[in-house]
Chains A and B, each alone.
Chain A
C-alpha cells in the first residue's frame, strides 16, 4: 500500500499553498543564519564584558525611557503584522492593507525613536569597546528593521495590486516571518544592553 502511495500519489497541490512551500523554508534558513549572526554579536558583548576592567560598560544604569516603550511598540507591531496576514488568509484585502500599513508605521516610529536615542548618547562608536558594540549591535538591528520595512512596503504594494489570494500568499507569510524575527532579535538586544547591567553584568 505504502509503495503504491509513493509511486502513484493521489491529487497533489501544485505550487506553494498558503505558507507551505519552498520559499518559506528559504526564509527560515535565512532567519536561522541571521539568528546565529546576532548570537555571535551578543557573545562578543558578554565575552568582552566578562573580561573588561571596571567602567567598561558606559551605561551601568540604562534609562528605560524611551527604550522600554519603544520595545513594546516593536513587539506589538508583530501582532498587527500577524493580524494583517490573517486578512490575506481570509481574503480580506482591506484588513491586510491596514495591517501592513500600521505595522510599517509602527516600525518607522521605532526606528525614529532609536535614531533619536543614538543622538542623545554621551558616547560615540569609537569611545570604547562597549560603545562600539552598542552601536554596531543596535545599528545592525536597525539595518534589519529597514529591510523589514522595505518588505512591508512591498507586501503593502503587492496586496494593493491584488497579487495574493488565500491560497497563493507565500510571499506574505515569508515576509511577515522575517518581521517577527526582527522583533524577536530586538528582545535579546534590549535584554543585553538595557536589562543585564541591572543584573550586575559588567558592573
Chain B
C-alpha cells in the first residue's frame, strides 16, 4: 500500500517522467515500443495506406463499368478486384482506422498514461499488419480471393474454387480476427479500469461509448466469423462436411455465422465514428452535445438491437415468413436509436453558434450522408421491398453511404480536428475547403445516382453489362464522381504531407475544446499526463463557463505516480481510485509472437506442415516469454527467488 504523492506539474517532474516513459530511440525502440500513441499512429498510417490501395482498386472497377461491354478486365480479374476492394475497405481500412484513432486518443480522453495492456496493444497492431500483408499475398500473384467479401459457400469450396485464393482469405481472416479480438479486449478493460478519478460512467466522451460498444460487440461476434473461416478451411483442406450438402452440411450455416458477425461489425465500424462527430461537433457549435445521455444510450441500444438483425442479409434465402417478419420489424426499429443521434446533432448545431471549419464541414455533412445511408437501409429492412432491392446496386449505394458517409467523412473530419494534437501543427484550412468540397461533391455525384442504377435492376458484382439495360449513363456519371471523390481524397493526403512540414503551429488547446486531451501539450509527451487529473464534469476545460455545478476538475495538481512506469486504475462505474499499477516496459514479445503466428499461417497456407509446426513452437516460446511473471510488474513476490 502506498499513499500517492500529490504534486503540481513541474519541469523536474516532467523530466523524471520523460526518462521513465520514453521509448528508446532508433530501430530497437521502433520494434519494441508499447506507447499507445505510437501504435495509434501506426494504425492510422497503415489504414490510410489500405484506403489508398482499396481506392485504386475501386477506380479500376469504375473504369471497367464506365460503359457497356468494356473489356479492361477479364471477369476473373474483375472478381478479384471487387473482392479485394470490399475486403480492404471493410476489414483493413474501416475498422483499423477507428482502432488507430481510439488507440491514440483513449488514454488522453480518459486521463490515463496508457491503455490497460500496452504489449497487447502492440501485438494487435503487428498482427493487423501481418494479416494485411497475408491477405494481399495472393492478389499480387494473381490468386486473390474472388468470392466477394462475404465469401458465400459452396462457391468458396474447393470444388468450385480449387486455387489457393480462398485458402488465403480464410486463413488471413482468422489471423486478422486475433488482432481485432485482443484489441477489443484491451479497449473494454481500458474503458472500465483506466479512467482518471472522477470520470464516472456518465462523464465519458461519446467516442469512448462508441468504441467501447463496438469492442464489446467485436469480442462476442468476431469468433463467429473466425469459426466460419476455420470450418471453411477444414472443408477445403480435409474434406469435412460443414457446408457441403452432399455430406449433410448446409450452405446457409455459412451465411448465419457470417452475418451473425457481419451485421454487428457494420455497427462496430460506424459507432466510434459517430462518437467522433458527437464529441467534435459541439466544439465548433460552442456548446455541449444536446441529449448526451440519450446519445450514449442510443449507442448501446443500436448494438443490442444490432445483434438481432443479421437475417436481413438473408431475406431471399427461403426462410419462413414468420421469421422474416420478426427480423424485418427489428431492422425497421433499429432506425430509432440512429434517429436519436441525428436529432441530437441537429439540435446541437441549431442551438449553438457554429463556426464553419473544415472539420465542422466534414462532421456536419456526415449527418446528411448518415441519413441517406440510413433511409436506404430502412428501405431494405422491408422484406417485400428488399426482395427487389437486395443484390442490386441500390445496396451497393447503401453500403457506400454507410461506410464513406459514416466512416470516411468523420475520420477525415477527426483528422482535421486532432491533427494539431498529434503533430503540433494545423492542417491547412484553405486546402481543407477544397478537400471537403471535392470529396463531398464527388461522392454524391458518384453514389446518389447509383441508387437509381439499382432501382433499374443492375445486379451487383457483374463484371460488365450490355447496353439497352438503361444503366450506361448512370454508370458513367458514377465513374466520373468516383474519380472526383478520389481527387478529394488525394487533396487530403497532400494537405497532411504539406502540413506535417509547414503547417501553422498549434498550442495545447487550439480549438478551445472541453475534453482532457486538450489539457496536455501538442504533441503529448510519452507519459501523457504529468499528474493524474481529477474530473468533476463532462467538460473539464469548460467548467468555469458552463457553470453546471460548483465542482471543478483539477488538472494541474494531482497524483504524480513517478516511482516507476506507473498509472492509476479506478473503479468501473464511479472511477474512484483503486490501485497503482506498474506498466510494462517496451518489449519484443509482441513482435516475436506475431512473427510466430504469421509464419504459422503462412505454413498452413503453403501446406508446409514442418514450417507450421516449427512456428507453432515459436508461438509457444514467445507466449511463455511474454507471460513469465515479472518482478517489475509485481507479478512475483518480492521476497523470494
Q: From the candidates B181, B250, B558, name the one contacting A51 in the complex (CB within 8 A).
A: B250
User: B534 and A164: CB pair below 8 A?
Assistant: no
B261 nearest in chain A by CB position = A40
Cross-chain contact B635 with A23 (CB below 8 angstroms): yes
A16 to B636, CA, bound (A): 10
Question: Given B116, B240, B558, which contacts A25 in the complex, CB threshold below 8 Å?
Answer: B116
Task: Check if B185 sits within 8 Å of A11, measured CB to CB.
Answer: no
Interface residues of A in 28-43 (CB under 8 A from B): 29-30, 32-34, 36-37, 40-41, 43
Interface residue A64 (Cβ < 8 Å from any Cβ of B)? no
B248 touches A44 (CB 8 A): no
- B640 CB–A CB distance under 8 Å: yes
The reply on A5 being an interface residue by CB < 8 A is yes
Measured CB to CB, the closest approach of chain A to B397, in angstroms, equals 31
Are A48 and B250 in contact (CB-based, < 8 A)?
yes
- Among B117, B223, B534, the most chain A Cβ lie within 10 Å of the Cβ of B223
Check if B249 is an interface residue, CB within 8 A of chain A: yes
Whether A16 lies near B634 (C-beta < 8 A) is: yes
Tell me whether A44 and B3 are in contact (CB under 8 A): no
Asked if A104 CB lies within 8 Å of chain B CBs, one says: no
Is A13's CB under 8 angstroms from B224's CB?
no
Over the window 53-94 of chain A, the binary record of Cβ atoms lying under 8 Å from chain B Cβ atoms (1 yes, 0 no) is 100100000000000000000000000000000000000000
Let me know if B248 and A129 touch, CB within 8 A: yes
Q: Is B551 on the interface with A (CB-CB < 8 A)?
A: yes
Interface residue tally on A, bucketed by range = 35 or more
A121 is an interface residue with CB less than 8 A from chain B:
no
Contact among B238, B558, B576, B640 for A125, CB-based, below 8 A = B238
Taking A15-B580, A29-B189, A129-B247 as contacts, is the C-beta distance between A41 and B239 under 8 angstroms? Answer: no
Q: Is the CB of B234 within 8 A of A132?
A: yes
A189 at the A/B interface (Cβ < 8 Å)?
A: no
CA distance A73 to B591 in the complex (A): 39
Q: Nearest chain-A residue to B197 (Cβ)?
A: A6
A136 to chain B, nearest CB (A): 7
Smallest CB separation, B314 vs chain A (Å): 13
Q: How far is the CB of A78 from chain B (nearest CB, A)?
A: 21
C-alpha gap A33/B218 in the complex (Å) = 9
In the complex, the answer to whether A5 meets B576 with C-beta atoms within 8 Å is: yes
Supposing A16-B634, A22-B117 touch, asked if A44 and B231 sit within 8 A by C-beta, the answer is: yes
Set A11, A36, A168: member contacting B636, Cβ < 8 A: A168
Instruction: Tell me the A154-178 residues at the B interface (CB within 8 Å).
Output: 154, 158, 161-165, 167-168, 170-171
B219 to A33, Cβ gap below 8 A? Answer: yes
Q: Is the Cβ of A9 less than 8 Å from the Cβ of B4?
A: yes
| Cα distance A17–B635 in the bound complex, in angstroms | 9
Nearest to B245 among chain A residues (CB) is A129
Of all chain A residues, the one with the shortest Cβ separation from B638 is A168
Partner of A40, one of B117, B224, B234, B239: B224
Bound Cα distance A129, B241 (Å) = 5
What CA separation (Å) do A8 and B231 show in the bound complex?
54
**Contact residues in B for A127 (Cβ distance below 8 Å):** 241, 247
Minimum Cβ distance to chain B for residue A171 (Å):
5
Chain B's nearest CB lies how many Å from the CB of A17?
8
Asked if B256 and A47 sit within 8 Å, CB to CB, the answer is yes
Cβ of A33 and Cβ of B256 under 8 Å apart? no
Query: Per a CB cutoff under 8 Å, which of A9, A14, A34 touches B634?
Result: A14
Q: A7, A22, A51, A154: which contacts B189 (Cβ < 8 A)?
A: A22
Q: Is there a chain B Cβ closer than 8 Å to A199's Cβ?
A: no
Interface residue? B12 (CB, 8 A): no
**Residue in contact with A33 in the complex, picked from B192, B220, B240, CB distance below 8 Å:** B220
Given A26-B117, A163-B629, A167-B637; A3-B231 close (CB under 8 Å): no
Interface assignment of B221: CB less than 8 Å from any CB of chain A: yes
Q: Is A120 an interface residue (CB 8 A)?
A: no
Do residues A36 and B193 form an inter-chain contact, with CB atoms below 8 A? no
B641–A162 touching, CB < 8 Å: yes
Instruction: From B248, B250, B637, name the one whose CB has the most chain A CB atoms within 10 angstroms.
Output: B248
- Is B579 touching A20 in the complex (CB atoms < 8 A)? yes
Interface string of B606-641 (1 = CB under 8 A from A): 000000000000001000100101000111111111
B581 contacts A161, C-beta separation under 8 Å: no
Residue B548 CB within 8 A of the other chain: no
Residue pairs across A and B with Cβ atoms less than 8 A apart, 21 shown, are A3-B534, A5-B577, A6-B575, A13-B580, A15-B581, A15-B634, A22-B117, A22-B189, A23-B635, A26-B120, A29-B185, A33-B181, A33-B185, A36-B223, A37-B227, A136-B234, A136-B240, A158-B629, A163-B629, A165-B637, A165-B639
Q: CB within 8 Å of A: which residues of B?
A: 1-4, 6, 116-117, 120, 181, 184-185, 188-189, 192-193, 197-198, 219-224, 226-227, 231, 234, 238-242, 244, 247-250, 252-253, 256-257, 260, 534, 536, 551, 554, 557-559, 568-569, 575-582, 620, 624, 627, 629, 633-641
Query: Interface residues, chain A, CB within 8 Å of chain B?
Result: 3, 5-17, 20-23, 25-26, 29-30, 32-34, 36-37, 40-41, 43-44, 47-48, 51-53, 56, 125-133, 136, 150, 154, 158, 161-165, 167-168, 170-171
A26-B116, A51-B250 given. 12 additional CB < 8 A pairs? A10-B3, A11-B2, A13-B579, A15-B581, A15-B635, A40-B224, A43-B256, A48-B250, A48-B253, A126-B241, A163-B636, A163-B640
List the 7 closest A-B pairs by CB distance, nearest first. Answer: A15-B634, A165-B637, A29-B185, A132-B240, A37-B223, A129-B248, A11-B1
